[in-house]
């Protein structure tokens, strides 16, 4: 790329074709549409939209609705184009070229990219032989490194590990550095402890409408923190980035969060069923508090899945992630894997 600056010479465009046919378990999406009532309310609101006007740059109604759900002040909320935009804005706000940020690895791949886009380095902190991460290890690394911040994903994408509230608080209290907490999948975990984290001034929590709320199509996420940290993100993120349609649909969704409870608990029970089945079949699958699983398996299984139009995420040879589908999709997945085991053994 002729005009790309030298320090970015390794950057490459990532392309991925949209799969619309088959059983799609590769993007940690919800297998369910949002509850009907939410789409109905949205359809009513669409009729009133002034398409020829810019969105509300301060997402006032949306941020208010989010704040209400958590029982916090609306000034402690900001919204963006997925939590991605807010993570990117935070990294840009705090990291100078040459700076460092710590994160467990493997984790969400964009952390490293967002760090590199600022000229900073993402320093990976590894888990044990089972990819299980240890908070004390992170505290140790934090104290001896020059890293400006640490980012933790709980439950962690792609391994599914959920950190105990007490462990996170221990880490937060052990440092003055900024602790970024990506809770994209926390609605699938034991407890949503987002609000407990907001007692601390060195914490920013990131959430999304793309997972439990089944709205990745509208690209909307939000950050929760004290007013000062939220203003820092607002100073960097692009004005007017969240579309009017996304603001409206997200506002309706979070104001009616209770309507999601049924599909979320179904996803959780299906997750537990899938885990049992995969263990029974002898697969090297990780326990998960999320809507997906990390899986080590021979690539031949993936070939069989693809032949059956079941699409899961391949990180590299032998390393996979797949998310929970509908009951029917999960049945089909289990059936195909059972047969594959027979043939492959």
Chain residues 235-254 in contact with a second copy, contact rule CB under 8 A: 235-236, 238-246, 249
Identity of the residue, 187 or 277, whose beta carbon is nearer to a second copy in the bound complex: 187
Angstrom distances, CA of residue 99 to CA of 120, 155, 197: 5, 26, 25
Nearest to 122 by CA among 153, 91, 156: 91
Instruction: Establish if 297 lies at the interface with a second copy (CB under 8 A).
Output: no
Q: What is the DSSP letter of 155?
A: S
Positions 13 through 72 that interact with a second copy (CB under 8 A): 13-18, 24, 27, 29-34, 39, 43, 46, 49-58, 60
Residues in the chain: 345
Nearest distance from residue 257's CB to a second copy, in Å? 16
Angstrom distances, CA of residue 266 to CA of 53, 160, 173, 212, 330: 40, 18, 36, 11, 12
Instruction: Establish if 2 lies at the interface with a second copy (CB under 8 A).
Output: yes
Nearest distance from residue 216's CB to a second copy, in Å? 4
Identity of the residue, 1 or 129, whose beta carbon is nearer to a second copy in the bound complex: 1
Positions 192 through 231 that interact with a second copy (CB under 8 A): 201-202, 210, 214-219, 228-229, 231
Beta strands, E only, 146-304: 149-153, 178-182, 203-208, 221-224, 284-285, 292-296
Contact 78, 67 (CB under 8 A): no
Positions 151 through 170 that interact with a second copy (CB under 8 A): none
In this chain, which of 70, 76, 83, 85 binds a second copy, going by CB under 8 A? 85
Contact 66, 256 (CB under 8 A): no
In this chain, which of 63, 84, 167, 182 binds a second copy, going by CB under 8 A? 84
Whether omega for the bond prior to residue 28 falls within 30 degrees of 0, making it cis, is no
Identity of the residue, 47 or 316, whose beta carbon is nearer to a second copy in the bound complex: 47
Nearest distance from residue 315's CB to a second copy, in Å? 16
Nearest distance from residue 20's CB to a second copy, in Å? 8
Strand partners, 310: 23
Positions 115 through 154 that interact with a second copy (CB under 8 A): 117, 119, 149
């Amino acid at each position: 790329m002729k005009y790309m600056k030298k320090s970015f010479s390794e950057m490459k465009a990532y392309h991925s074709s949209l799969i619309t046919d088959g059983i799609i378990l590769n993007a940690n999406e919800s297998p369910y549409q949002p509850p009907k009532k939410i789409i109905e309310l949205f359809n009513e609101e669409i009729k009133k939209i002034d398409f020829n006007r810019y969105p509300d740059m301060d997402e006032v109604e949306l941020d208010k609705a989010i704040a209400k759900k958590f029982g916090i002040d609306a000034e402690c909320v900001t919204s963006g184009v997925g939590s991605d935009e807010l993570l990117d804005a935070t990294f840009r706000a705090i990291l100078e070229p040459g700076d460092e940020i710590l994160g467990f690895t493997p984790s969400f791949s964009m952390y490293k990219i967002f760090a590199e886009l600022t000229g900073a380095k993402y320093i990976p902190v590894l888990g044990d032989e089972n990819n299980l991460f240890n908070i004390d290890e992170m505290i140790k690394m934090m104290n001896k490194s020059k890293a400006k911040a640490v980012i933790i994903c709980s439950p962690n994408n792609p391994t599914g590990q959920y950190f105990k509230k007490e462990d996170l608080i221990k880490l937060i209290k052990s440092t003055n550095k900024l602790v970024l907490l990506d809770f994209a999948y926390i609605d699938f975990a034991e407890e949503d402890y987002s609000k407990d984290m907001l007692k601390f001034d060195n914490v920013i929590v990131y959430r999304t409408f793309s997972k439990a709320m089944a709205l990745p199509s509208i690209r909307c996420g939000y950050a929760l923190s004290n007013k000062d940290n939220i203003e820092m993100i607002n100073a960097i993120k692009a004005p007017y980035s969240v579309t009017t349609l996304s603001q409206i649909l997200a506002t309706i969704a979070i104001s009616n969060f209770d309507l999601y409870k049924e599909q979320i608990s179904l996803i959780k029970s299906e997750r537990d069923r899938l885990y049992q089945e995969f263990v029974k079949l002898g697969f090297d699958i990780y326990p998960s508090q999320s809507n997906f699983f990390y899986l080590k398996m021979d690539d031949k299984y993936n070939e069989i899945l693809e032949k059956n139009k079941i699409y899961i995420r391949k990180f590299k040879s032998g390393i996979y992630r797949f998310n929970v589908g509908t009951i029917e999709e999960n049945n089909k997945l289990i059936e195909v894997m059972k047969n594959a085991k027979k043939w492959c053994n």
